[in-house]
Amino acid sequence: QAMPGGGNLFLETQNATLEVNDYDKPYAIRPGRYIRISVSDTGTGMDKATQERIFEPFFTTKGVGRGTGLGLASAYGIIKNHNGIINVYSEKGHGATFKIYLPASKKQMIKEKARPESLEVGTEMILLVDDEEMVADIGKDMLEKLGYKILVAAGGTEAIKIFNTSRDQVQLVILDMIMPDMSGGETFNRLKAIKPDVKILLSSGYSLNGRASQIMKRGCNGFIQKPFNLKQISRKIREILDA
């Protein structure tokens, strides 16, 4: 609102050292190292009388309904409570610059060592069933990074064909819930008919409710909601295979 016709706003931060008596109004602050934050605009600026009152609560140069006059007063209070100070320099018609000084921390920054992500790997064969090609490709890449051998089916019908010929090698089926040619529920039933003890992990972008919960009640081994990350899927797979 200080730039009704638009303009430029500049932000700058610098290290600064304040000496004794550098700033003693409206209150004195301790000498030492500070961080200076400067905020400048190219707006209408202020005269001296306005600058002397600008940090007073409820003082405002705005029209009725355009502000309470508490913004700068609140900033003043917050900065003072942090043992800092704020001042303003302005000329009418030439914008304004507010400078905030906050005490610099004496603590040394300690860099935390990045903890290696704990991934659980394996070598089993997994049948990944998903009708979305991009999702299937990403899933295949993720599972191969974990060491698994992956077969991919683009839907329930293809999954049944692959599983019929590879039932003894496939240790786990990751099954999408919603597919156009054959639903996740029907695919689940047909996989179980071929091999009753096959382990199946249900995967869906929806939460575990409705049809998904019904499949879980029929003996599905687990559920994971998409999208999932490498750590989540690695743990879920081992949770099922090692049970």
Token pair recorded at residue 147: 């060491």
Q: Is the dihedral of CA 201, 203, 206, 212 positive or negative?
A: negative
CA-CA distance, 201 to 123, in Å (whole number)? 17
More confident site: 22 or 92: 92
Of residues 209, 165, 213, 220, the one with CA closest to residue 187: 220
Distance, C-alpha 169 to centroid of its chain: 39
b (16+ CB within 10 A) / e for 100-135: bbbeeeeeeeeeeeeeeeeebebebebbbbbbeeeb
Domains of the chain, first to last = 9-103 (3.30.565.10), 125-241 (3.40.50.2300)
pLDDT, tens digit, 9 for 90 and up, residues 182-216: 999 999 999 999 999 999 999 987 777 777 888 99
pTM of the predicted protein model: 0.54
When pLDDT is cut at 50, 70 and 90, the band that residue 67 belongs to is: very low
Q: Mean pLDDT throughout 6-17? A: 90
Q: Does the structure show a pLDDT above 50 at 172?
A: yes
State the chain's mean pLDDT as an integer: 86
When pLDDT is cut at 50, 70 and 90, the band that residue 159 belongs to is: very high
Q: What percent of the chain has pLDDT over 70?
A: 89
CB 98 within 8 A of CB 4: no
pLDDT, tens digit, 9 for 90 and up, residues 100-140: 999 998 887 777 665 556 799 999 999 999 998 888 999 99
Token pair recorded at residue 82: 């942090």
Q: If DSSP codes are grouped into helix, strand and coil, which group holds residue 128?
A: strand
pLDDT, tens digit, 9 for 90 and up, residues 78-102: 888 888 888 888 888 888 899 999 9
When pLDDT is cut at 50, 70 and 90, the band that residue 62 belongs to is: low
Q: Does the structure show a pLDDT above 50 at 145?
A: yes
